[in-house]
């Protein structure tokens, strides 16, 4: 593999590892918000913001953690035949499936960009009593999809290298 591809894969992996490790801790933010919500509903006046804020933190958790999950290969995989294949056969098959993923992520990224642009341009807000602006979570959505696309491209290069008998660390 060319050196530029090796550097790309290594830098994308390193960046997504940092973002993924940060995103892991967002689950504690969500738990804290839900705990506060339970306490405030039981003993005080219920807060308007807690449910949506918990949803936003959960959305950030899985959107920002998606690329890291892909990198660690901790996603769900149907394993009817795959487990019995040789590593080279797996890499060839994975190369085809990651191309489909890249195409899907490109469409998703286009929709996310369009949705984020709309939210920023018109000040889109939620239809709830709290009515928060949706631009921040849509920006996080856009970033998460973009990072997943970068990781999918890195996975494609890694699979091609493995199919050729090389390994990209």
Check: pTM over 0.95? Answer yes or no.
no
Q: Is residue 34 part of a domain?
A: yes
Q: Is residue 169 part of a domain?
A: no
**pLDDT, position 169:** 64
Q: At 38, list the tokens.
A: 């339970």
Give the domain extent around 35.
3-163
Alpha helix segments (H runs only) across 44-168: 50-71, 87-122, 135-163
- Name the one residue in this structure whose structure tokens are 């006046």: 45
Q: Is residue 168 part of a domain?
A: no
> pLDDT tens across 10-62, in order?
999 999 999 999 999 999 999 999 999 999 988 988 888 999 999 999 999 99
Q: For residues 74-82, give the mean pLDDT.
A: 79
Total domain count for the chain?
1
Instruction: Decide if 158 contacts 168 (C-beta within 8 A).
Output: yes
Q: Collect all residues with Cβ–Cβ distance below 8 Å to 65 and sequence separation of at least 6.
A: 20, 23, 24, 26
Q: Is residue 19 part of a domain?
A: yes
């Amino acid at each position: 593999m060319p050196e530029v591809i090796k550097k790309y894969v290594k830098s994308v992996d390193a960046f997504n590892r940092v973002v993924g490790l940060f995103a892991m801790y967002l689950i504690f933010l969500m738990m804290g918000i839900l705990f506060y919500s339970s306490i405030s509903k039981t003993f005080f006046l219920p807060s308007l913001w807690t449910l949506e804020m918990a949803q936003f933190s959960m959305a950030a958790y899985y959107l920002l953690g998606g690329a890291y999950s892909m990198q660690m290969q901790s996603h769900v995989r149907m394993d009817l035949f795959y487990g019995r294949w040789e590593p080279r056969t797996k890499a060839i098959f994975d190369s085809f499936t990651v191309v489909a993923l890249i195409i899907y992520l490109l469409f998703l990224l286009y929709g996310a960009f369009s949705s984020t642009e709309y939210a920023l341009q018109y000040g889109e807000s939620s239809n709830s009593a709290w009515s928060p602006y949706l631009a921040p979570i849509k920006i996080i959505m856009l970033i998460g999809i973009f990072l997943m696309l970068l990781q999918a491209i890195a996975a494609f290069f890694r699979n091609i290298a493995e199919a050729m008998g090389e390994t990209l660390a």
